[in-house]
Amino acid sequence: MTETTVHTHAAPQAQTQAPAQTHQQHPIGLYLAVWILLFVLSTFSYLVDYVGLQGYLRWSLILIFMMLKAGLIVAIFMHMAWERLALIYAILLPPLLVLVFVALMVSESNYVLFSRLTFFGAAP
Amino acid sequence: MSAETHSPVREPLHRPAGLAGFASDWASDQRTFKNVSWGKAMMWIFLLSDTFVFGCFLIAYMSARMSTAVPWPNPSEVFALHIGGSDVPLILIAIMTFVLITSSGTMAMAVNYGYRHDRRKTALLMLITALFGATFVGMQAFEWTKLISEGVRPWGNPWGAPQFGSTFFMITGFHGTHVTIGVIFLLIIARKVWRGDFDTGKAGFFTSRKGQYEIVEITGLYWHFVDLVWVFIFAFFYLW
């Protein structure tokens, strides 16, 4: 948690008018490490297809590598790891509702497929 | 209207961390995001709304793919390139992924140099980022051309479920648009950095307010988001 509170009040002719912002300043080495990690993870997820894994192993590996990559980008590159909890929750919790939508549409899609197969005949 | 319209609030020096901080931030007066400027907070909220847009696209794709009685075209074969006498699956998409990740890395470093007020390196890294972004869009244009010449249309394709074309053009098209906007955004900010607008306090063209190097980080947030969306598209559309 970098809580560097640089108080520059809005005095006339002040150099910066920013009210107490934290500047996200982190060592370059961290970015390079994450960069390399993202490369490795992307290679792994490409290899999942290249090797031709199928079924649940394929899907779970795709999801694991995807979540790891997304987590690294959001946490390090977008600096979410150093933000206060108020912002983290405001931004990261609402997308979880998309999962509810996914669940609804999975159920709906199964029903549509069932209807198609029942009333329009099987696939050619 | 001057830039000093925001009231100078003297914050307490000790702000609780963790969950207690979360509660006190949200229960407090005036502003919730205590150490985040309005510009950065608004970019995050915009990105949240964009998350829902892309979430809806991917859910639409999932519904189309799950509910079709016709087999879905195999993306591994559809996006294969013929290199050196054999088909390499998904190779162009893999290269596009690496290009976008690389651009994210250079962007993160541009933000870093921005806060050090190193104008040359910041502008240069932003230009490199924009270049990688343009390369990505170019490869996407190549991919679209290839697929269209093979007969993929929004209403049908030679290999299976007709929804494949519409979801492909919709999702990658919208993502490509985001990348293109990002490249333009990057070029504009890089020019400002290069000119030293944020050191001299030159007024911006739209709001007439003085800019700060924080805009580099805000641009970076958008750019990383574009990369983030690609991670999901790569996983769900190309690999699944």
Tell how strand B81-83 and strand B86-88 pair up.
antiparallel
Q: Which long-range contacts (CB under 8 A, 24 or more apart) does A117-124 make?
A: A117/B69, A120/B69, A122/B69, A123/B69, A123/B70, A123/B71, A124/B70
| Residue B5 burial (C-beta neighbours within 10 Å; 0-12, 13-18, 19+) | exposed
The verdict on A72 touching B (C-beta cutoff 8 Å) is no
Q: Is the pLDDT of residue B19 over 50?
A: yes
pLDDT tens-digit readout, B43-95: 999 999 999 999 999 999 999 999 998 899 988 888 888 887 778 888 889 99
> How far apart are the C-alpha atoms of A30 and B159, rounded to whole Å?
45
CA B173 to chain centre: 13
Assigned token pair, A23? 């500047």
Q: B185 and B222 in contact (C-beta within 8 Å)?
A: yes
- The CA distance from B239 to the nearest CA of chain A, in Å, is 6
> How far apart are the C-alpha atoms of B65 and B54, rounded to whole Å?
16
Assigned token pair, A41? 């993870």
Q: A65 and A86 in contact (C-beta within 8 Å)?
A: no
| Mean of pLDDT over chain B | 89
B232 in a structural domain: yes
Residue ranges of A 39-68 with Cβ closer than 8 A to chain B: 39, 42, 45-46, 48-50, 52, 58-59, 62-63, 65-66
In one-letter notation, the amino acid at residue A85 is L
The predicted structure's pLDDT at residue A8: 41
Note the maximum CA span of chain B: 69
Q: Tell me how many domains chain B contains.
A: 1
Candidate from A12-16, A72-76, B122-126, B205-209 with smallest mean pLDDT: A12-16
The predicted structure's pLDDT at residue B177: 96
**In chain A, where are the structural domains located?**
1-83, 93-124
> How far apart are the C-alpha atoms of B75 and B236, rounded to whole Å?
10
DSSP 8-state secondary structure symbol assigned to residue A83: S
CATH of the domain at B76: 1.20.120.80
Closest CA to B131 of B186, B91, B92: B186
Q: B80 and B89 in contact (C-beta within 8 Å)?
A: yes
The predicted structure's pLDDT at residue B86: 79
Closest CA to B152 of B128, B138, B168, B139: B168
Residue-number span of the structural domain to which B96 is assigned: 34-239
Are A110 and B67 within 8 A, CB to CB? yes
Confidence label for B13 from pLDDT (cuts 50, 70 and 90):
low
Q: Using only the alpha carbons of chain B, give its radius of gyration.
A: 22
